Amino acid sequence: MENILNALVILANFIIVPGLAYGAQLALGALGVTMIYAVLRFSNFAHGDLMAFGAMLVILTTWAMQGWGVSFGPLPTALLALPFGIIGAIGLVLLSDRMVYRFYREKKSSPVTFVIASVGLMFIYNALTRFFIGTEDIRFEDGERFIIRAAEFRAMTGLAEPLALRTSQVITVVVAVAVVAAVFWFLQKTRTGKAMRAYSDNEDLALLSGIDPKRVVMITWMIAAALATIAGTLYGLDKSFRPFNFFLLLLPIFASAIVGGIGQPFGAIAGGFVVAFSEVSITYAYRRFLSHLLPEEWMPSGLVQLLSTDYKFAVSFVILVLVLLVRPNGIFKGREI
């Protein structure tokens, strides 16, 4: 019995807890990407760097708050700073839309033009972030770091294997659930949300029924910027903030959105967890897990690892390719790509 518990604790410590937190971060990012795709009909490559920009604003506000002596008790101060970051990020995307995307929208340019324009904006956001905060690794987590410490867990349960639960991991999951619930409520129940869905399903019919396209576009951008800032901040809290990492995050985020079915909000959430758990579970070495379950003589001599951790990023690529080959619409039947 104790062996089985030990094995379960290993799984929880190395796969379930990190996978849930990472999955929630990817889901929030993918939700933003998928909403832009549904309403504005292009893949926004600037989303990763928008996350970095939003998180940067949150960090700067956090520093200012720490300077004034404001704190959030055991929770990180960054949560208090979040609204300021969101407002700044919304300002940035509305400015980009006014100066770049609106021009192409009026010309009715093809989606490829929008994608390339978003790549250009990605470099601009990228440079802005580096200009203000630099390229260094920044940790801005304060308050109580752990809910359960590894050593405490061992002492408490008497098990050989440790389990650690960080505050940032719990906050990530809680905030993600709350945000996703709010977005879904907004899309399903409010007038503006319904207008957005109508616009997404059929632009011409939506225009005929008197929906204001400018308002729909603006609100979509605002939601996307808020989601990006929250996702970026949670990722930075949980791991660490380094502008380049958000660029690397773009691939798993797109993989999540496409796996779930692009344009489908629910698919983005599911996709985020599918990609996160694939990455974590495929690169994990199961030797220690098995050592608690198998008798000595059955123990494999190797590490029982499917892929070396060097190939972590390749997992998203493989998933992306498989989905596009086998089920191009994704799990939840999004749009054709």
For other proteins (CB under 8 A), the number of binding residues is 41
**113 sits near other proteins (criterion: CB under 8 A):** no
**194 sits near other proteins (criterion: CB under 8 A):** no
Tell me which residue has tokens 């999955």: 23
Minimal distance in Å, beta carbon 34 to other proteins? 23
Interacting span for other proteins (CB under 8 A) from 121-129, 159-167, 177-185, 223-231: 159-167
Q: Which residue number, 25 or 77, has a Cβ lying nearer to other proteins?
A: 25
Binding mask 280-319 for other proteins (x = CB under 8 A): x--xxxxxxx-x-----------xxx--xxx-x-------
**157 sits near other proteins (criterion: CB under 8 A):** no
Residues 3-32 that bind other proteins (CB under 8 A): 13-15, 18, 22
How far apart are alpha carbons 11 and 17 in whole angstroms? 9
Q: Which residue number, 5 or 15, has a Cβ lying nearer to other proteins?
A: 15
Residue from 170, 173, 178, 181 nearest 75 by CA: 170
Binder of other proteins out of 235, 254, 273, 332 (CB under 8 A): 235
Binder of other proteins out of 5, 87, 147, 150 (CB under 8 A): 150
Minimal distance in Å, beta carbon 311 to other proteins? 10
**Angle CA 335–25–71, to nearest 5:** 145
How far apart are alpha carbons 285 and 262 in whole angstroms? 32
The tokens for 168 are 């940032």
Minimal distance in Å, beta carbon 123 to other proteins? 19
**CB 200 within 8 Å of CB 263:** yes
- Residue 286, judged by CB atoms within 10 A of its CB (0-12, 13-18, 19+), counts as buried
* Backbone φ, ψ for residue 220 (5° rounding): -60, -45
**188 sits near other proteins (criterion: CB under 8 A):** no
Q: Which residue number, 199 or 246, has a Cβ lying nearer to other proteins?
A: 246
User: Could you tell me how far CA 63 lies from the centroid of its own chain?
Assistant: 24
Q: Which residue number, 217 or 274, has a Cβ lying nearer to other proteins?
A: 274
**CB 150 within 8 Å of CB 162:** yes
**Angle CA 172–62–127, to nearest 5:** 90
What is the residue-wise DSSP string for 305-335?
BSS-GGGHHHHHHHHHHHHHHH-TTTTTT--
Binder of other proteins out of 87, 116, 164, 324 (CB under 8 A): 164
Residues in contact with other proteins by CB under 8 A are 13-15, 18, 22, 137, 139, 149-151, 153-154, 162-164, 166, 235, 238-242, 244-245, 279-280, 283-289, 291, 303-305, 308-310, 312
